[in-house]
Amino acid sequence: MHYKKTLLILVFISFLFNCKNEEKTTSEVLIIPQPQQQTLGEGSFLLNNSTGIDYDDTFKVSAEFFKSYIEEGSDIKLEGSNKISFIKDETLSDEGYSLEILPKHINIKAKTDQGAFYAVQSLRQLLPPEFENGTFQGNDIAIPCTTIKDEPQFAYRGMHLDVGRHMFSVDFIKKYIDALAMLKMNTFHWHLTEDQGWRIEIKKYPKLQEVAAYRNETLIDHYNTQPQQFDGEKYGGYYTQEDIKDVVAYAQSRFVTVIPEIELPGHSQAAIAAYPELGCTGEQVEVATKWGIFEDIYCPKEETFTFLEDVLDEVMALFPSKYIHIGGDEAPKTRWKNCDHCQALIKKEGLKDEHELQSYFISRIEKYLNSKGRQIIGWDEILEGGLAPNATVMSWRGFNGAIEAAKQHHDVILTPGSHCYFDHYQSENKDEPLAIGGFTPLERVYDFDPIPEELTQEEAQYVLGAQGNVWTEYMKTSQKVEYMVFPRILALSEVIWTYPKERNYKEFVSRVEHFHKRLDALNINYANHLYEIEGKMVANNNQPAYALETVSKGKAIRYTLDSSEPNINSNIYKDPIPITKSVFIKAGVFNTKEQLGSTFSQDINLHKALGKSITINKALNKSYPGSGAEGLVNGISGSNTRYGDKEWLGFSGEDLEITIDLGEKTDINSIETRFHNGNGQWIYAPKEMTVIFDNEADKQHINIPTSKENLVNVAINAKVSSKTITLKIPNYGIIKEGKQGAGNKAWTFIDEIIVN
């Protein structure tokens, strides 16, 4: 009894302390990625010239990193007697650590130097951002007493960078690696070879440097924008083996493993331009000058394997990583189908088709790399035609590749386009710089769960982790790379480090806002969309209404309904705005003085189906669920460029039947909708649509002509009275050879269905 009472009192006291501490947590201890356990104590540790550092060789890298961080960031010298001690703790996991900040000393405990390095990264984020660029003025800095116990959820925490489309200086690559390390990411996937440029020096094959590293010019604007325009400027370069050694050593000193990617059998046109004999036709091709997928791929003949093994020998000598990424994605089989050698090889090896030939190709390379003690990673196409025995799969075309591979007991890394492609747009703002397409805002990245729910707990063990991909077709400068990567990398770092129960988007956003100053000090050109507004239709007493929201706290939303710009005197938004006629809403986020961020605007079209009941015969797609079926009759059309925004619904390869119930017989004059037709992203408008009404005789069928436009409008005029409207929309079908996604079924993306 006595014991219980004491416990109760203790619980009460700790409750009191927690209340007090709560405030401190949000004002002072803000770390990204969020540690698994973090408790605030009383008081603070004063870091100044009385502070010293105590470590042995086990913690050499992390301790020396910390010492230079402090001594280069300020005038403080770590030579005093108030110790920061690095202590070995075998009970912790390999990358785990504990960090105890006490009034008189700081204890960093870890099993490995890498774990201690992550403790240092957490401690770093408790110091003022001025330490990042050496501008800290002052002799003392108070660090709040805190205890952190932390370890990562996933072992593989990666970022990718494509240097084939555009390349970046070694200094920038190091800056990128620094950012990864700060966010406790441990893998840099360096995409070194592409159709548009070969970027790694291979001494045995000088034409890779002379020919494959340069293209004559580069496509400007979108692939689908006709006529295609080029800049007329020669572009290229490559990393020398010395550059690469420098980068690999630099990354090692930050516990980042560099995984090189040498693409095969596809995305190899630059190499074939240098050595045409590696292709099926032997004909001269040029280093690609536009984006997309190219038909000239390596021909699986002996001299190709000799070439690739020679290349991989030099690659392995430079990169000590356990994994070598061999690409495997987007390899059109056109050349192989028409090649005598390839066809004879298919027969000789008893293969079923060209997909099995690709599997033969990859398995041969795998065998070679395995014989040298290395493992392969390949994009999820390596599942087609059978997985190479020891391969790890990188699932990029959604989650299915991951599910399939894990069920076959192969390791997988998740990089689904819907959540991990940082070349996609991140905002609906019309002033965003040009991007390849797609829509992957910060919140979508944050909501990502790398473990597909289809996997059992046992199968989930095969998920090594996740990675953000950065394809640089539309990133010519390192500033643009930073803009696309930050802040989405912050969200991803937390998704892969922190267990879901410790994650909360709203709370994350306040940490991001706090982190801005650190990014400023690091001279990182991050995107800031925190002061943007999100709107959505809601039902208010069965009447349609429009709700506005912003993720940043403590600010007001002001709005207008007459298309004038909102200003500091405009109405403050409180409750959803009733929609009784078509309106044009404009709104902004304001502090007490001025507008922050850009103006949000939304057209709302009050039509006869708005807010009516709607059903779709297929389940929503996990990657592109829009705002549900209701989003097709909410008065709001999707963006013209962001097909993944919440107003577009995407379906993969399915025939759709969409039924709207208007509630009572209604006079109908017209039905309009539109389809996205972003062929580069495998999205095709359908070829036909049928509209069915209550009365069978009123049925209408239309053929939809093939279009090169990104958006295809479809309208029918009717003179009918009907309670229900059903749209039958068959999928476009299989994507043709030579196009992106060839051989797969197309996606259908449909927008608002407007009934008048």
Which spans of this chain sit near ligand ACM (rule: CB under 6 A)? 329-330, 379, 396
**339 contributes a contact to Zn ion by CB under 5 A:** yes
Cα distances (Å, whole numbers) of residue 483 to 442, 489, 532, 740? 12, 11, 16, 26
Least distance (Å) between residue 265 CB and Zn ion: 10
Least distance (Å) between residue 423 CB and ligand ACM: 9
**Spatial CA neighbour of 307 closest among 275, 330, 285, 281:** 275
Our CB check for ligand ACM shows the closer of 55 and 396 to be 396
Residue 483 structure tokens: 């803009």
Least distance (Å) between residue 280 CB and Zn ion: 3
Helix and strand counts by DSSP (H, E) for the chain? 18, 37
Question: Exposed/middle/buried for 73, CB within 10 Å: 0-12, 13-18, 19+?
Answer: buried
Our CB check for ligand ACM shows the closer of 276 and 292 to be 292
Least distance (Å) between residue 489 CB and ligand ACM: 18
Compute the half-sphere exposure of residue 112: CA atoms within 13 Å on the CB side of its CA.
Answer: 9
Contact 130, 521 (CB under 8 A): yes
Helix, strand or coil for residue 88?
strand
Our CB check for ligand ACM shows the closer of 144 and 438 to be 438
Least distance (Å) between residue 91 CB and ligand ACM: 40
Least distance (Å) between residue 336 CB and Zn ion: 5
Residues 251, 280, 351, 391: which binds Zn ion (CB under 5 A)? Answer: 280
Cα distances (Å, whole numbers) of residue 482 to 170, 309, 472, 477, 526? 15, 35, 11, 9, 6
Q: Which does 329 bind (CB under 5 to 8 A by kind): ligand ACM, Zn ion, none?
A: ligand ACM
Mark 638-667 with x for binding to Zn ion (rule: CB under 5 A) and - for no binding: ------------------------------
Least distance (Å) between residue 117 CB and Zn ion: 48
Our CB check for ligand ACM shows the closer of 195 and 330 to be 330
Q: Which does 341 bind (CB under 5 to 8 A by kind): Zn ion, ligand ACM, none?
A: Zn ion
Our CB check for ligand ACM shows the closer of 329 and 513 to be 329
Q: Which does 428 bind (CB under 5 to 8 A by kind): ligand ACM, Zn ion, none?
A: none
Q: Which does 383 bind (CB under 5 to 8 A by kind): Zn ion, ligand ACM, none?
A: none
CB proximity list for 686: less than 8 A, separation 6 or greater: 675, 704, 729, 730, 731, 732, 748
Annotate 106-153 with DSSP letters as a single string.
EEEEESSHHHHHHHHHHHHTTS-GGGGGT---SS-EEEEEEEEEE--S
Least distance (Å) between residue 335 CB and Zn ion: 6
Our CB check for ligand ACM shows the closer of 55 and 624 to be 624
DSSP assigned state of 338 = T
Q: Which does 330 bind (CB under 5 to 8 A by kind): Zn ion, ligand ACM, none?
A: ligand ACM
Cα distances (Å, whole numbers) of residue 323 to 259, 720, 756? 6, 64, 58
Our CB check for Zn ion shows the closer of 262 and 299 to be 299
Helix, strand or coil for residue 63?
helix
* Helix ranges, 212-323 (H): 241-252, 269-274, 302-318
- Spatial distance between the Cα atoms of 713 and 701, rounded to a whole number of angstroms: 15
CB proximity list for 294: less than 8 A, separation 6 or greater: 195, 266, 267, 269, 288, 332
Taking the alpha carbons of 615, 619, 622, 623 in that order, is the dihedral positive or negative?
A: negative
Q: Which does 339 bind (CB under 5 to 8 A by kind): ligand ACM, Zn ion, none?
A: Zn ion
Our CB check for Zn ion shows the closer of 284 and 703 to be 284
Least distance (Å) between residue 307 CB and Zn ion: 14
Residues 207, 337, 341, 480: which binds Zn ion (CB under 5 A)? Answer: 341
- Spatial distance between the Cα atoms of 153 and 562, rounded to a whole number of angstroms: 50
Helix, strand or coil for residue 501?
helix
CB proximity list for 239: less than 8 A, separation 6 or greater: 163, 167, 170, 192, 199, 200, 201, 247
- Spatial distance between the Cα atoms of 268 and 195, rounded to a whole number of angstroms: 5
Using only the alpha carbons of the chain, give its radius of gyration.
Answer: 28
Q: Give me the sheet containing 583-590, strands edge to edge.
A: 571-572, 556-560, 583-590, 595-604
Q: Which does 466 bind (CB under 5 to 8 A by kind): ligand ACM, Zn ion, none?
A: none
Our CB check for ligand ACM shows the closer of 99 and 297 to be 297
Q: Which does 414 bind (CB under 5 to 8 A by kind): ligand ACM, Zn ion, none?
A: none
**342 contributes a contact to Zn ion by CB under 5 A:** yes
**331 contributes a contact to Zn ion by CB under 5 A:** no
Our CB check for ligand ACM shows the closer of 329 and 534 to be 329
Cis amide linkage into residue 625, ω under 30° from 0: no
Annotate 402-435 with DSSP letters as a single string.
HHHHHHTT--EEE--HHHHBTTEE----TTPPP-
Q: Which does 425 bind (CB under 5 to 8 A by kind): Zn ion, ligand ACM, none?
A: none
Q: Which does 280 bind (CB under 5 to 8 A by kind): Zn ion, ligand ACM, none?
A: Zn ion
Q: Which does 396 bind (CB under 5 to 8 A by kind): ligand ACM, Zn ion, none?
A: ligand ACM
Q: Which does 299 bind (CB under 5 to 8 A by kind): Zn ion, ligand ACM, none?
A: Zn ion
Least distance (Å) between residue 588 CB and Zn ion: 59
Among the residue ranges 267-275, 279-287, 290-298, 667-675, the one whose residues contact Zn ion (CB under 5 A): 279-287
Least distance (Å) between residue 251 CB and ligand ACM: 22
Among the residue ranges 14-22, 339-347, 398-406, 713-721, the one whose residues contact Zn ion (CB under 5 A): 339-347
Least distance (Å) between residue 377 CB and ligand ACM: 11
Q: Which does 342 bind (CB under 5 to 8 A by kind): ligand ACM, Zn ion, none?
A: Zn ion
Q: Which does 443 bind (CB under 5 to 8 A by kind): Zn ion, ligand ACM, none?
A: none
Least distance (Å) between residue 745 CB and Zn ion: 27
Our CB check for Zn ion shows the closer of 339 and 712 to be 339
Least distance (Å) between residue 113 CB and ligand ACM: 33
Among the residue ranges 32-40, 264-272, 335-343, 692-700, the one whose residues contact Zn ion (CB under 5 A): 335-343
Least distance (Å) between residue 327 CB and ligand ACM: 8
Our CB check for Zn ion shows the closer of 253 and 338 to be 338
Compute the half-sphere exposure of residue 751: CA atoms within 13 Å on the CB side of its CA.
Answer: 26
- Spatial distance between the Cα atoms of 19 and 92, rounded to a whole number of angstroms: 30
- Spatial distance between the Cα atoms of 138 and 70, rounded to a whole number of angstroms: 12
How many of the chain's residues bind Zn ion (CB under 5 A)? Answer: 5
Least distance (Å) between residue 417 CB and ligand ACM: 7
Q: Which residue is nearest to ligand ACM (CB)?
A: 329
The residue type found at 206 is P
**299 contributes a contact to Zn ion by CB under 5 A:** yes
The residue type found at 145 is C
Cα distances (Å, whole numbers) of residue 83 to 60, 69, 107, 110, 381? 16, 16, 8, 16, 53
Q: Which does 379 bind (CB under 5 to 8 A by kind): Zn ion, ligand ACM, none?
A: ligand ACM
φ, ψ of residue 403 in degrees (nearest 5): -65, -50
Helix, strand or coil for residue 571?
strand
Q: Which does 691 bind (CB under 5 to 8 A by kind): Zn ion, ligand ACM, none?
A: none
Our CB check for ligand ACM shows the closer of 330 and 411 to be 330
Our CB check for Zn ion shows the closer of 341 and 480 to be 341
Least distance (Å) between residue 634 CB and ligand ACM: 32
Contact 588, 600 (CB under 8 A): yes
Give residues in contact with Zn ion (CB under 5 A): 280, 299, 339, 341-342
